[in-house]
Copies of this chain bind each other. A is one copy, B any other.
């Protein structure tokens, strides 16, 4: 019983919709770390069947956003400082690798797409946080997208999602309001279009490490968020 009107979403499949919805809910923290994910509750929440939910949870398990317990169902992945540090470290390693390859393969089409994604991110502004985060990820992925290594891209994308989850958990991307990340983004973009791999890598990694150090501090006194 599906009307022709919602055929516009070219990705029409209950499983895929459930996957996107659940991933979003986990990333932004609507589903808390360690929270039990009961099929029946999610089934009613997403208004779909049990099969799509199970399949989506299986996929999220491979993304490390969901953990599968022996025969006891699923739960949202736990968080920990060790996990956070691991993600940050791997992200720095893999993204530097991808960025350098991207720059080595630089061509006009890539640079155009890169500038465009940066522009879209700037234009979006901070009005809608989730929309901005979408653009933000698009920009960072665009930096790497010319590495011609789909597997590496997949890894970077996964690590990005794992990381952004910590940002949300720390309190609605608090860091953005204190630091001037716009300047950092512009600087990274500039170095990339100049094909300066060393400078671009250095700026990208500093970008991550500053955010990382900030978030890492929150593990000690998580009550310091006052807005």
Contact = CB atoms under 8 A, between A and B. Distances in A.
A56 to B, nearest CB: 9
A151 B87 contact: yes
Interface residues of A, number: 26
Contact of A90 (B15, B51, B55, B152): B152
A67 to B, nearest CB: 12
Interface of A: 12-13, 15, 51, 54-55, 58-59, 61-64, 71, 86-87, 89-90, 93, 97, 149-152, 154-155, 159
Given A62-B63, A87-B151, 13 more contacts: A12-B71, A13-B71, A51-B51, A54-B55, A59-B61, A59-B62, A62-B62, A86-B149, A86-B151, A86-B152, A90-B152, A93-B97, A155-B155
